[in-house]
Amino acid sequence: MILSILDQSPISEGSTGADALRNTLDLARLADQLGFARYWVAEHHGTPMLACASPEVMIASIGSITRRIRIGSGGVMLPHYSSLKVAETFSILSALFPDRVDLGIGRAPGTDRATAFALQRDRRQPAPDDFPQQLGELLGYLENRMPQGHPFARLAALPGRPYVPEVWLLGSSAQSALWAADSGLPYVFADFINPDGATYAAIYRDRFCASETLAEPRVIVAGWAICAETDAEAQRIASSARMTRTLLNEGQLIPVPPIDKALRFLAERGPSPDTVARPRRAIIGDPETVKRGIEELAALYGAEEAMIVTITYDHAARRRSYELIAEAFGLG
């Protein structure tokens, strides 16, 4: 099985965003050494929990300190930007790190409404909901197939050619599956956001239209996992992320709390869908348990690749989780 990592650059209580970004670079080096296939960084804005506001900056830094692993965005939230600017940025990254750069594209804002509005250059009115048109223009630049006579056709002479990124569409809904299929793009489904996406992955395959860049459908499933030496220790470590999810669902954003604090919080709250591990939403346990869970998740989606999201309070625990997973799958 192909295994990859999606890093959201979590900020632990008592640390800073700068600490989180340095941890991302440290984990990327480790992932390169362990044999993971890709290392993607996310885009979120205006949150005290995640420091990943600019994936393109982090991709450049990660590329300079790694050797072979593919690097990319998971993803760039296209509605915030012009398609041309995204195309030019990832064209340059592709030239700097040939045949290693992925451009994962998403439609979600990656933040709340007020912050999304603050990201707009023109605030006289809300930004239009024209994602399919934005995506089509982006692909036109990257694939050098702007219609003849189009006023922007000459702009497809991107600065990093002949190198271009591999484009993926990210999503957690039926609509994203349809967009990926109709555009002939590979598809990444966020099971850690919506654990009911196997049906959407099937829709993507059934609807898929071959393109110049992709002849057959390709699926990555992104799942949430924590691995430790024992099931009990993994469950204990996972308490920090369970507390953040519980409060997130109530509209509260907090840094990742220490384990003892999280355990007290969860004990006071009592069992609920947010305070206990949910099937497929969270794969938690020792190496055998996590390996089995990841394999089952990939089989459910018919995915050729699994991308793992891990949030812990202690960076050393996150490093160890990925080390144990790599060992369990025999990466190297």
The arithmetic mean of pLDDT across residues 319-332, rounded, is 97
Task: Classify 205 in phi/psi space as left (phi over 0), alpha (psi -120 to 50) or beta.
Answer: alpha
Q: The domain containing residue 208 runs over which residues?
A: 2-232+284-329
Helix axes of 315-329 and 287-301: crossing angle, nearest 10 degrees: 70
* pLDDT, tens digit (0-9, with 9 covering 90-100), for 134-186: 999 999 999 998 887 888 888 889 999 999 999 999 999 999 999 999 999 99
123 vs 190: which has the higher pLDDT: 190
* pLDDT, tens digit (0-9, with 9 covering 90-100), for 183-198: 999 999 999 999 999 9
70 in any annotated domain: yes
* pLDDT, tens digit (0-9, with 9 covering 90-100), for 274-284: 555 454 478 99
CATH of the domain at 88: 3.20.20.30
User: What is the pLDDT at residue 221?
Assistant: 98
33 in any annotated domain: yes
User: What is the pLDDT at residue 150?
Assistant: 85
Beta carbons of 198 and 300 less than 8 angstroms apart? yes
How much of the chain exceeds pLDDT 90, in percent?
A: 82
The one-letter amino acid code at 170 reads: L
Distance CA 250, CA 294 (A): 29
pLDDT at 266 over 80: yes
Distance CA 271, CA 327 (A): 33
257 in any annotated domain: no
267 in any annotated domain: no
Q: Which whole-number Å values give the CA distances from 102 to 22, 115, 236, in the listed order?
A: 21, 26, 34
pLDDT at 102 over 90: yes
193 in any annotated domain: yes
pLDDT at 114 over 90: no
Tokens of 128: 């239009």
67 in any annotated domain: yes
296 in any annotated domain: yes
Within the chain, strands assigned E span 2-7, 38-41, 70-77, 101-106, 166-171, 187-190, 219-227, 283-285, 305-309
166 in any annotated domain: yes
